[in-house]
């Protein structure tokens, strides 16, 4: 068992290979947080209750003079009792009261980990040691039971947390906030790391020092959003990419979230993540239970790189659907930037043929194939084939594609409805809306109300029909606007605060049905690029369109932040045309290839317009990618140090068997008269020999790791270099 309950000290100790997480039941029954950090091998007799209780101006719990909750590291704190700091939860009772007092009642320790009904979460694999601790706390006055769930993945050093609240009383309780995880760290010498940006500029790494008070990121857009990722890390101020303590929290959820810290007046740092309490409320009637989504906690003593590797590994091995997690992904060609809405059947046939000759394996017809969809002003909801563009249906085209030996895929945007659509004329009341308020349009579309069972049924049956009739092998599931006027006629006035969460529960229900019913379809999620790139969606859909910005240089930073949490195999990255459609930049096609090969390589340009030289280059890229695909998609990824960090990026992919290593270097701007850079590889076998692919050059692992690779002289902006080494047998 990786969870030990010490009867004498009343401590719970979750023990991974390199991590410990310890809590204590205080004599009053309050649950305290003792420790989260490097592994403590033996905790027997370890004196953990060394909290300093001498401060003044804090309230004492009456009758328990020794106890000031404000001075204790409460594991899942309330606000307004003897603790006046930022709480992990907030409940409102029918008498208007907001004070809660939850104390230990019982606990269970079991092996394994159960799924959460209606919500995505990490699963377990055969042979893995995963144990679960459930601690039940109770508010005796209001008869509420709160269960704190902790699972530890022993070898992987992962702790997951979640919370359930059950109303055993006779009156309704309103949940205003129920964080998924909250941890108190005993100092504030941390930097807060978050992934922030916007459409076309998602998940840029931001690292800032923290100060007393609160700092947080959130989404109230109805989806996790382009603006911030549902993720937060605290790094010791001296931590680097490969050294130092880092604490991460990532939420397995796709809706409104909040993640943040609060440094209290004694310089403790509370760190927490969960559903965004802003505009959220949930009516918990007697006998009902509410589940908060799961948070995945990673501690690493090996810097941000150590933390990221743990996230990438666990999300690949225990979140992505079992059939897909280790299945190599096809090189795709997407029609969007090539044709936008201007799809012509014959031209698409030629496009597919040339793509296949260039080595591409999956043809994806993006937006524009259905209803009367000639632009973005119409037809979302009308999921039947555009007769003007495809008079004989999609079968002719898909047969042509399949005859080429390629797979066939299409784009859909099922959660949306265009006001100009047959669906809207039949069901104008199917939209998310707030009574008496104008519904804001965004990209000329409204959002379907997924809280309504009839809407969910419509989406499921419309998609079932599309998937079956087109015989598609792949679906790009898009969501191209945020949710405004979040409200629904499906619930009462006092339940409007539930709508955003109910929307996500409705979405998960749809995805659960469709992804299980069509296990052979490879799903890629998308929300105007990476507006819903989160662990919740990744549970259902094993890959994600990272960003609508396909510029190689912009992508360096977008992908860097993405890879802090998500595995390379989940990250869609395409080579597109230049000048780039988003930023107008022209980069060499070689560099576009190198950057796209950081994840799932695809192409999104008109291959019919490529020059012969470009075609040759693309052929070489796809051939190379097929050689290194296993290493990129199933291996270990590391950002490498470059001594020019504002102007260059380097990284490596190492196969799990360590037989192949691929190193890549991109320099942003050319510079006159500077020495070549050294790129030091990592994790090779020091005395093993590695041959540079396609040459006679052989290097020892030590040489590659300590002396490093030397970059060639870069003469132009946006140039890159790539090396593939194969280990020689002894």
Which residues form the interface with ligand GLA (CB under 6 A)? 336, 366-367, 411, 478, 480, 526, 528-529, 545, 548
Which residue number, 480 or 652, has a Cβ lying nearer to ligand GLA?
480
Q: Angle at the Cα of 114 (from 150 to 129), degrees rounded to 5?
A: 65
Identify which of residues 101 and 478 has a Cβ nearer to ligand GLA in the complex. Answer: 478
Set 90, 101, 478, 534: catalytic member: 478
Task: Tell me whether residue 135 or residue 423 sits nearer to ligand GLA (CB atom).
Answer: 423
Nearer to ligand GLA, 145 or 604 (CB): 604
In the complex with ligand GLA, the residue whose CB is nearer, 546 or 590, is 546
Q: How far is the CB of 413 from ligand GLA (least distance, A)?
A: 7
Please answer whether residues 326 and 313 qualify as being in contact, where contact means their C-beta atoms are separated by less than 8 angstroms: no
Q: How far is the CB of 441 from ligand GLA (least distance, A)?
A: 15
User: Of 276 and 418, which CB lies nearer to ligand GLA in the complex structure?
Assistant: 418
Task: Judge whether 548 counts as a catalytic residue.
Answer: yes
- Quick check: is 478 catalytic? yes
Of 73 and 528, the one with the shorter C-beta distance to ligand GLA is 528
Question: If residue 679 lies in a helix (H) or strand (E), which one and from where to where?
Answer: strand 678-679
Provide the 3-class DSSP secondary structure of residue 228. strand
Residue tagged 């860097």 (tokens) = 560
One of 548, 549, 551, 636 is an active-site residue; which one? 548
> Can you state the angle between helices 612-634 and 589-596, rounded to 10 degrees?
20
Nearest-approach distance from CB 319 to ligand GLA, in angstroms: 22
Vertex 254 angle, CA 99 and 337, to 5°: 155
Q: Which residue is nearest to ligand GLA (CB)?
A: 367
Shortest distance, position 475 Cβ to ligand GLA, whole Å = 12
* Shortest reach from residue 528's CB to ligand GLA, in Å: 5
What is the smallest separation between the CB atom of 15 and ligand GLA, expressed in angstroms? 43
CB-based contact 272:192 (threshold 8 Å): no
b/e code 150-171 from CB counts within 10 Å (16+ = b): bbbbbebbbbbbbbbbbbebee
Least Å distance, CB 334 to ligand GLA, is 7
Residues 511, 454: Cα–Cα separation, whole Å: 15
Q: How many residues does the chain have?
A: 730
62/504 Cα distance (integer angstroms): 42
Q: How many Cα atoms within 13 Å fall on the side-chain side of residue 394?
A: 28
Is it true that the peptide bond before 579 is cis, omega within 30 degrees of 0?
yes
**Ramachandran angles phi, psi of 317, nearest 5°:** -85, -25
- Comparing CA positions, the residue from 604, 610, 667 lying closest to residue 476 is 604
Q: DSSP code of 116? A: B
102 by DSSP, 3-state: which?
Answer: coil
Give the closest residue to 503 by CA, choosing from 457, 463, 459, 452.
Answer: 452
Q: Which residues are catalytic?
A: 478, 548
């Amino acid at each position: 068992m990786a969870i030990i309950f010490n009867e004498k000290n009343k401590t719970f100790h979750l023990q991974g290979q390199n991590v410990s997480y310890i809590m204590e039941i205080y004599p009053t029954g309050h649950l305290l947080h003792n420790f989260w950090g490097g592994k403590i091998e033996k905790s027997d007799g370890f004196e953990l209750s060394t909290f300093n209780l001498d401060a003044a101006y804090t309230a004492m719990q009456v009758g328990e003079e020794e106890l000031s909750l404000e001075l204790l590291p409460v594991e899942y704190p309330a606000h307004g009792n003897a603790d006046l700091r930022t709480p992990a939860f907030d409940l409102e009772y029918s008498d208007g009261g907001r004070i809660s007092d939850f104390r230990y009642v019982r606990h269970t320790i079991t092996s394994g980990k159960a799924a959460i009904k209606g919500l995505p979460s990490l699963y377990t694999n055969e042979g893995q040691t995963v144990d679960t601790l459930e601690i039940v706390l109770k508010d005796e006055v209001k008869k509420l039971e709160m269960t704190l769930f902790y699972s530890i993945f022993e070898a992987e050093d992962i702790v997951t947390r979640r919370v359930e609240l059950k109303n055993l009383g006779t009156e309704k309780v309103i949940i205003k906030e129920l964080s998924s995880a909250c941890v108190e760290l005993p100092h504030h010498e941390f930097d807060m790391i978050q992934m922030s940006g916007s459409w076309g500029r998602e998940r840029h790494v931001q690292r800032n020092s923290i100060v007393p008070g609160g700092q947080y990121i959130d989404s109230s857009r109805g989806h996790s959003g382009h603006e911030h990722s549902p993720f937060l890390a605290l790094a010791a101020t001296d931590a680097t990419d490969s050294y130092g303590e880092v604490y991460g929290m990532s939420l397995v959820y796709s809706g409104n979230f909040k993640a943040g810290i609060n440094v209290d007046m004694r310089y403790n740092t509370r760190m927490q993540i969960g559903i965004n309490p802003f505009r959220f409320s949930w009516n918990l009637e007697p006998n009902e239970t509410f589940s908060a989504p799961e948070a995945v906690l990673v501690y690493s003593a090996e810097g941000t790189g150590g933390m990221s590797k743990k996230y990438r590994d666990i999300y690949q091995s225990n979140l992505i659907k079992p059939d897909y997690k280790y299945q190599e992904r096809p090189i795709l060609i997407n029609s969007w930037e090539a044709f936008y809405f201007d799809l012509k059947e014959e031209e698409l046939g030629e496009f597919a043929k040339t793509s296949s000759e260039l080595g591409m394996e999956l043809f994806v017809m993006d937006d524009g194939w259905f209803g009367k969809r000639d632009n973005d002003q119409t037809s979302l909801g009308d999921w039947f084939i555009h007769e003007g563009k495809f008079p004989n249906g999609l079968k002719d085209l898909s047969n042509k594609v399949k005859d080429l030996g390629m797979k066939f895929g299409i784009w859909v945007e099922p959660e949306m409805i265009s006001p100009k659509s047959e669906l809207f004329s039949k069901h104008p009341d199917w939209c998310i809306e707030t009574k008496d308020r104008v519904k804001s349009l965004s990209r000329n579309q409204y959002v379907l109300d997924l809280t309504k069972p009839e809407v969910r049924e419509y989406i499921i049956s419309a998609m079932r029909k599309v998937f079956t009739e087109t015989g598609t092998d792949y679906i790009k599931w898009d969501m191209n606007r945020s949710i405004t006027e979040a409200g629904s006629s499906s619930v009462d006035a006092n339940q409007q605060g539930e709508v955003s969460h109910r929307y996500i529960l409705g979405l998960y229900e749809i995805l659960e049905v469709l992804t299980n019913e069509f296990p052979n379809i490879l799903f890629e999620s998308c929300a105007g690029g990476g507006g819903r790139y989160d662990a919740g969606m990744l549970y259902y859909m094993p890959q994600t369109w990272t960003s609508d910005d396909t510029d190689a240089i912009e992508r360096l930073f977008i992908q860097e932040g993405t890879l802090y949490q998500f595995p390379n195999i989940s990250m869609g990255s395409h080579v597109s045309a230049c000048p780039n459609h988003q930023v107008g930049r022209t980069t060499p096609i070689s560099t576009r290839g190198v950057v796209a090969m950081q994840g799932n390589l695809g192409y999104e340009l008109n291959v019919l317009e490529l020059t012969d030289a470009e075609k040759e280059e693309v052929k070489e890229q796809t051939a190379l990618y097929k050689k290194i695909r296993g290493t990129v998609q199933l291996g270990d990824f590391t950002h490498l140090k470059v001594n020019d960090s504002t102007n260059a990026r380097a990284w490596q992919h190492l196969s799990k068997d360590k037989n192949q290593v691929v190193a890549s270097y991109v320099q942003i701007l050319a510079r006159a008269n500077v020495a070549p850079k050294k790129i030091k590889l990592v994790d090779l076998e020091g005395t093993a020999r590695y041959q540079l692919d396609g040459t006679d050059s052989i290097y020892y692992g030590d040489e590659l790791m300590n002396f490093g690779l030397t970059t060639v002289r870069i003469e132009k902006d946006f140039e890159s270099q790539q090396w593939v080494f194969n280990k020689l047998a002894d």
